[in-house]
Structure formats: C-alpha cells, structure tokens
Amino acid sequence: MKKNKKRKNQVRITFYPEGKTILASMGTTLREVIQKAQTGMNFPCGGRGLCGKCKVKTEGGLSLQTPSEQKHLSSSEGGIRLACQVRIEGDVRVEISPLSLTSFPKILTQGAASKVKVKPDIRKVYLALPSPDLENQIDDLSRIKRELKKEGVDGLSVDLSLIRELARVIREDNFRITVVLGRKKILGIEKGDTRGKNFGIAFDIGTTTVVGVLLDLDTGEEIATHAILNPQVAIGDDVVTRIRFIQPRREGLRVLQSEIIKAINKIVIELTKKGKVKKENVYKATFVGNTVMQHFLLGINPVNLALYPYVPVITDSVKVSASSLGVRINPHGELYIFPNIAAFIGGDTVGVILATSIFEKRDKKIRLAVDIGTNGEIVLSKKGRLVCASTAAGPAFEGARISQGMRAERGAIEKVEFKNGEIKIGVIGGGKARGICGSGLIDISSELLKESIIDSSGYIRPAKDKDIWKERIIKQGKSNCFVLSKKEESERGIPVIITQQDIRELQLAKGAIYAGIDILLEKMGVIRDEVDEVLLAGAFGSYINPDSACSIGLIPSFPRAEIRSVGNAASLGAIMALVSSEAVKKAERISTVVEYVELAASPHFQDKLVEGMELEEN
C-alpha cells in the first residue's frame, strides 16, 4: 500500500484490523473519514446522531462526547464512540464492528452515482387542466392526455384501477394535478403539485437477509437503508429445505411468498419512516435475488429447481404492479424483478455483473467475480463474453452444517486471533460466545493451520505433550476437536468446539469454489496467470477477513491479478436499475449473453473438488 504523505494540519487515521491508513484534516468528523475510506459502514439516520448505530471503537485524538453520544452510549463502553458525532483532533486508530457493515451496501451505493447516469423511468409532470363546460365536454382521461401531449408525452397506457379514481382526484384541487409517468404507463394522477416527491426502493432478497435501499428518483440520492432477516429462515436455512417445505403442502408456496412480501413491506415501512417519505410517493421497486427467491417472490412454484434436471419456470425479468404482489408502495407503482440466468444463477448475479461492469465488450481485461452468499456464484468475463457457475459454497459460511455454526448475529464468534499462546475471540455484541459464524470459522481454520494444529489435508492432529494448545485439543469419538471458547467464555457454560467435520465442511466449500473457478477458466480457454482482476462480492466484501481467506486458499492465488472487494454488488445492481433505465436495458442484455456452466455435468468436477480441498493457497 502506498504510504500517505502527511501535510500540515493533517492527521493519520488507521483502520483495524485491515491496517488501511488515510489522511484527514483536523476537525472533520470521523464519519466523513469513514465514508472517504469506503469501508461499507452504514449511517442509518444520515449522520444526525439520532439512531446511535454508528458505534466504532477508537483510540487517539478525538473530541469530547456530545450530548447525543451521552444518550446513546453507556459510560462503561471504553473507546466506543459514535462516528458521526466525534471530530478528529489527532492521529486516530479506528475499529469498525463487522456488525455495522453486514448487509448494508453503503460502499456500493456511493459507487452507484458515478457508475450510472441518473435517468429513471419515473418522472412527474404538473398540469393545470382547463375545466370542462358545454363547449369542452371531453372526457377526464382525454383531458389529461391532451395536456400531456403538449408536454411531449404521448402513447402511455393507464390501468383501469387508476381510471376508477380519476374523476374524483382531478376535481379535488380544481383540476390541478400531477401525473406520474412511467416508461409505458401512467402510474399516478395526484391532486395538486407533488413534484419532487418521487422515490424508489432497491431490494436485495437474500436467502438469509433482505435489504432495501430508499432512493430519490429525481436525484439518485440515497435516503435510507434497512435490512432484516428473511423470515423464510424460520422454515429452512437453505433454498432446498424451503422448496421441500412447499411440496407436500397445498398452501406452502403461498406461505413462503407471503412471508417474503411481509418482510418487504416491513422494510418499506422502516425506510419511509426513516426517510420521512410517504409510501404513496414510492413508485418503483427493483428486486434482485437468487432464482429460487425470485420464484417465491412472484408466487411461482420452484419445485423443478430442486429436481433433475433443475429447470426454472422463468428466467425473463418480470414487470408487475405493486398491488398485484401486495407490495405496499404506491399500489400503481412498478416492480421490476431482475432476469435470472439459470436455476442457481439468479437476478443477484445479474446485479453483480451489472454493478461491476464486467460485461462490457470494450473491456480488455479478464475478470473474475466471486459472490459468496448462502450460495456461491462465480462469473468469468473476457471481452464481453461471460461464463458463470454456481457452487454450494455458502452453507458453511452461514452456519449451516457446522456443529455450533450460526449466522453472524449476537453471540457469534466472528473473529479469532492466536497471539502469544493466547486465543483472542471477537464475539458479536461483545458478550459471551454462543457459536461461530462464517468469518470466525475461516479465521480459526487459518490460525489452526498456521499453528500446525491441522495439516493441509484438514486433519486435526492429536495433542502432543509439549503442545501449548494441548488442553484445547480433545477427542470426540474417533476424531479430534478444538475447543475455541472455554466454558467460562461461553454462554450458559457451553464451550464452542470446532470439530473435524466442521473443517471438512469448510474444505468442501473451498473445494467447490476452486473447482468452479477452474472449470470456468477451462471453458473460457484462459489460465489463472491471465486473470487481471478478482472481484469479491457478498460475504467477502463485508465480514470475512481477507487475510484469513487467503491463508487457507479459499480464493486460489492469481499471480497477476488485483483483488478488489466490491461488497454487496447485487444490491448495487438493483439500485442502478432503479435510477437508470439504461441499466435496466443492460441487465436484460446480461441475462441473455451469460453462458451458464453446469458444474455437475463436467467430468473433472469431482477431481477438481478434491484438489481444491487442500488447505493453503493453491
């Protein structure tokens, strides 16, 4: 990393654990610095000191606590400050909690403005209609259309449900109205002048997390972000379990659809509250999700996605009115659900490709994008040609199939560091450990490997007498385990233990990513040496420690490649489509040009998988 040269009046801000350093002027708020550093940190109330969510751990020259901080922070929280409140008075060391990063695509939405020209499908026109008399008996709708024509707007259709309200609405403010225009439709006719109130929401429907970002469609400005757990998690952690849930149940599909719609509506309420925006003034929403999530959202039975030969019902994008799905923005508002590519390459991957611009023909570089969520998708691009594959890499990282695995929520061990014979664990929420999440699992694997407690085949060696970790290596049945948090560090006195099987699960995920990448390289006819850039999206962009990931070889080594984290790129894709009709066209094109590679159909897959399970870089 290039060393920053310090000018007068400037101080150095260092981010931990990454070690990244940037320079800032004295007196600026820590929030400004954090935003400049593109850490992906979220400021739900927009930096007004209202929500108390932007807690950071600090050391160094900082201003005194503000009244807002006194309200939100207990005095016992050593070094914990609100980043939006505190001003810089000297060199500072900052640690951002991964919790305040997960699920929030701030880093990307900031990128969005520079990536797309804000030109949304939705705009508003104000009209003062001439009032009717015996000389002017033209019908209400034609009266509006005639005036719109004068403004250069013609040929738009109008839904019957809107026509039903027409006569009343146009007379409420003496024939003064604002017309909300979509690309092919009139989406609203409102009394009076409502220009300037034109909003949209971009949704990322993850298997585990649902994120919504509220934007001003006129300016492209981001207003608020909100994320909640996908309530379908209660039915099953992964998509296959959910598909199995609906199969024998008449109402199963309806239940799963209504759960996700409820979650969306919860987010709509939160976002409009945060942004002080009326739901009626939200006219558009875009949705990215994996193929199964998008089927559920649309109420389409995805059963064949779980059955050989894994065929989706639809991969085309879908445009429907908000009311038709029960999404409680303006009922006439438009929903755009991204096109899918294949059974396990969904609209979220289209979003990643859109956001990372790796589909452009003029692009001379060979790029690889890896998006790890609950599933793992890999895309390789070369001069506009795109090949992609899906791997079942995700479950290990989200806690599934790991004996004491859990999602990245309160009580999860998210960070592990072995230091001078001590084990330092970072627990989300700061309390006692309840289990381990994906980032913790990668950390511990990396540390176990460094300390030779496991070998590169993943085998946990039995403890030797002189071993400093002797106490922690125990036997369960025929295999060895490692006690990560002892009784006294753990909730209800239950220690968190890493089993041999847990390491194997991680290795399987690693092997799958490795095999996927190798088969795509083969398909494209390039070798690893030729790859110019590796883009890490999803979990990599937020809570996984890249050093640990590299040390166990979770991403194989690319000698010449620059490795870049792009965070929740899928969500950024949804944002781009929301504010730019050009981006929608690109998304459509992407979905038709991407070549899907079915890994299971490759004769080398099993061999590559085993090869890739080796721990350490490969």
Which residues of the chain form contacts with a second copy (CB under 8 A)?
Answer: 132-142, 160, 163-164, 166-168, 298-301, 303-304, 308-316, 318, 320, 324, 340, 342-343, 596, 598, 600-601
Output the smallest distance, CB 488 to a second copy, in A. Answer: 53
Closer to a second copy by Cβ: residue 69 or 140: 140
Question: What does the block give as tokens for 253?
Answer: 């599909």
Distance CA 569, CA 22 (A): 24
What is the CA 247 to chain-centroid distance, rounded?
Answer: 29
Residue 304 tokens, joined? 């064949």
Give the whole-angstrom CA distance, residue 389 versus residue 368.
11
Complex with a second copy: residue 128 or 138, whichever CB lies closer: 138
| Closer CB to a second copy, 240 or 311, in the complex | 311
Listed residue (391, 382, 378, 384) closest to 509, CA to CA: 391
Q: How far is the CB of 187 from a second copy (least distance, A)?
A: 17
Task: Work out how close the CB of 64 gets to a second copy at its nearest, in angstroms, rounded to a whole number.
Answer: 57
Nearer to a second copy, 267 or 342 (CB): 342
Sequence length of the chain is 618
Residue whose entry in the numeric block shows the structure tokens 């006690």: 483
Instruction: Choose between 295 and 407: whose C-beta lies nearer to a second copy.
Output: 295
Q: How far apart are CA 14 and CA 60, in angstroms?
A: 10
Output the smallest distance, CB 325 to a second copy, in A: 8
Considering the complex, what minimum distance in angstroms separates the CB of residue 206 from a second copy?
22
Helix (H, G, I), strand (E, B) or coil at 505: helix
State in angstroms the smallest separation of the CB of 166 from a second copy. 5
- 604 CB contacts (<8 Å, ≥6 apart)? 515, 518, 519, 522
Instruction: Closer to a second copy by CB, 25 or 131: give it.
Output: 131
β-pair type (157-158, 185-191): parallel
Q: Give the separation between CA 130 and CA 140, rounded to whole angstroms.
A: 11
Measured from the CB atom, is 321 or 381 closer to a second copy?
321
Cα separation of 452 and 474, whole Å? 16
By beta-carbon proximity to a second copy, the closer residue of 509 and 520 is: 520
DSSP secondary structure code for residue 240 in this structure? H
Q: Cβ closer to a second copy: 530 or 598?
A: 598
b/e code 235-251 from CB counts within 10 Å (16+ = b): bbbbbeebbebbeeeee
Closest approach, Cβ 309 to a second copy, in A, equals 5
Task: Say how far apart CA 91 and CA 81 lie, in whole Å.
Answer: 15
Q: Which is nearer to a second copy, 128 or 600 (CB)?
A: 600
Residue 60 vs 299, nearer CB to a second copy: 299
Q: Which is nearer to a second copy, 127 or 561 (CB)?
A: 127
DSSP string, 158-216: E-HHHHHHHHHHHHHTTTEEEEEE-SSEEEEEEES--TT--EEEEEEE-SSEEEEEEEE
Amino acid at 303: V
Contact 393, 513 (CB under 8 A): yes
Contact 388, 597 (CB under 8 A): yes
Measured CA distances, 456 to 338, 346, 450, 609 (Å)? 41, 34, 10, 15
What 3-state DSSP class applies to 593?
A: helix
Q: Which is nearer to a second copy, 35 or 304 (CB)?
A: 304
Q: Tokens 């890896």 identify what position?
A: 370
∠ CA 3-101-569, rounded to 5°: 85
Distance CA 33, CA 92 (A): 11
Q: How far apart are CA 567 and CA 483, in angstroms?
A: 32
Of 154 and 488, which has the nearer Cβ to a second copy? 154
> Which residues make beta-bridge pairs with 289?
205
d(CA 164, CA 156): 17
Nearest CA to 605 out of 503, 515, 478, 477 is that of 515
The pair phi, psi for residue 126, each rounded to 5°, is -95, 135
State the nearest-atom distance from the C-beta of 345 to a second copy, in Å. Answer: 11
Q: Is residue 175 within 8 Å of residue 134, measured between CB atoms?
A: no
Tokens of 66: 């503000």
CB 5, min distance to a second copy, A:
55
Q: Tell me whether residue 298 or residue 372 sits nearer to a second copy (CB atom).
A: 298
CB of 517 to a second copy, least distance (A): 21
Closer by beta carbon to a second copy, 20 or else 319: 319
What is the sign of the dihedral through the CA atoms of 101, 441, 519 and 344? negative
Which two tokens mark 525? 């006819």
